[in-house]
């Protein structure tokens, strides 16, 4: 039965896009807030704060209230320069990292142990996958990407990689080919095409680069403190040493907090993009049932989506389903819970009574093979 009658993919796409925009804006605001905080601290410390005395009307020395000292000694020029320097570190490092991460999606697939397949493949399951990819390329109005099979992975999973539709690649695990029927395979391939069409690979790349820029702050803080310990231990300018130490510690703390907050925002963006990709996949296939059943089969098999590849952790945000050995805590999870994704496609879903969710793996494989006979 087709459930598109009650699944409004256009509304789901619009909602996911709005939520993504909010999260990306928060990400940019986070970087700006860190730059402002470090700049303000530098303005206070380098502007001469700490000199708690001032000359009175008759030349006598008077102690000023600490709050007044902070205001009078604050150097806005230094604060702005330091803030811009911090922002520059984040943005330049992110840009360099982005260039290093960029490239051909096929390289990512090969690094996962993928073997490329073509239209001329003699393996029946590989040929079925390639035919589905060609079909979805037409539905999505995108070029046919390179197609890879990850032979040694028995779980049900897939990914799309590449900076643009022209250098995109789709990878599918052997377990997915063995356990999914053609309709379910179509749903998963459509989901990966949705990531390509929605520019998710590019967005993820930028977020990863931004987090790397935040990591660079902690490195800069560590270097500042190390240089102070090595060269600044003399007694001639203890205040300069203290100032450098304070700035180094603030870079370390703010950078670490920024990385944690950045990873939480990246995971939140990734979860929103999964909902968006599911909704877009339904737009391509006009049938949520295949995608919903593929997700149910993952739920039916314990740890069915897990991957043993060493790069699984690195690319887990690109995968169709969570692939790490242990599920991440809620705020750092890159994928929504399976049941939530299924209910977004099929609101009446009940794991206790659903036949696909409770299907044994042998029956899945038998059903998949029967189509090829």
Which residues are the active-site residues? 192
Please say whether the beta carbons of 290 and 184 come within 8 A.
Answer: yes
CA–CA dist 235, 233 (Å, integer): 7
DSSP 168: -
Helix (H) or strand (E) holding 114, with range, is: strand 114-117
**Burial 133-160, CB ≥16 within 10 A → b, else e:** bebbbebbebeebbbbbbeebbbbbbbb
Please say whether the beta carbons of 109 and 169 come within 8 A.
Answer: yes
CA–CA dist 313, 266 (Å, integer): 14
Tokens 């300018």 belong to 237
Tokens of 53: 């005395």
CA–CA dist 363, 355 (Å, integer): 11
Could you tell me how far CA 343 lies from the centroid of its own chain?
Answer: 23
Tokens of 364: 């899945």
Provide the H-helix boundaries in the chain. Answer: 9-46, 66-73, 76-101, 105-111, 124-140, 174-179, 182-197, 200-231, 238-285, 288-300, 338-345, 361-372
Pairing of strands 169-173, 158-161: antiparallel
CA–CA dist 281, 132 (Å, integer): 13
């Amino acid at each position: 039965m087709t459930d598109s009658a009650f699944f409004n993919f256009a509304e789901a796409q619009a909602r996911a896009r709005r939520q993504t925009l909010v999260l990306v804006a928060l990400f940019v605001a986070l970087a700006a807030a860190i730059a402002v905080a470090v700049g303000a601290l530098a303005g206070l410390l380098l502007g001469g704060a700490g000199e708690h005395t001032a000359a009175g009307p008759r030349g006598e020395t008077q102690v000023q209230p600490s709050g007044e000292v902070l205001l009078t000694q604050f150097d806005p020029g230094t604060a702005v320069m330091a803030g811009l320097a911090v922002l520059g570190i984040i943005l330049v490092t992110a840009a360099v990292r982005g260039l290093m991460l960029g490239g051909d999606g096929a390289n990512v697939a090969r690094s996962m142990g993928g073997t490329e397949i073509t239209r001329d493949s003699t393996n029946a399951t590989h040929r079925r996958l390639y035919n589905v990819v060609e079909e979805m390329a037409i539905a999505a109005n995108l070029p046919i990407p390179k197609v890879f099979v990850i032979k040694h992975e028995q779980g049900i999973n897939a990914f799309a990689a590449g900076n643009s539709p022209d250098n995109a690649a789709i990878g599918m695990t052997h377990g997915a080919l063995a356990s999914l029927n053609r309709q379910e395979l179509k749903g998963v391939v459509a989901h990966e095409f949705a990531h390509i069409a929605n520019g998710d690979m590019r967005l993820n790349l930028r977020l990863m680069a931004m987090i790397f820029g935040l990591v660079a702050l902690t490195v800069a803080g560590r270097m500042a403190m190390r240089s102070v310990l090595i060269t600044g231990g003399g007694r001639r300018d203890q205040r300069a040493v203290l100032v450098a130490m304070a700035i180094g510690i603030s870079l370390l703390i703010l950078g670490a907090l920024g990385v944690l907050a950045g990873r939480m925002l990246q995971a939140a963006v990734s979860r929103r993009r999964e909902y968006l990709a599911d909704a877009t996949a339904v737009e391509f296939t006009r049938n949520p049932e295949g995608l919903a059943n593929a997700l149910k089969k993952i739920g039916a098999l314990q740890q069915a989506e897990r991957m043993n590849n060493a790069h699984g952790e690195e690319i887990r945000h690109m995968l169709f389903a969570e692939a790490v050995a242990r599920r991440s805590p809620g705020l750092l999870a890159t994928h929504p819970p399976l049941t939530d994704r299924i209910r977004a496609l099929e609101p009446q879903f009940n794991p206790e009574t659903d036949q696909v969710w409770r299907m044994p793996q042998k029956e899945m494989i038998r059903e998949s093979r029967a189509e090829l006979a």
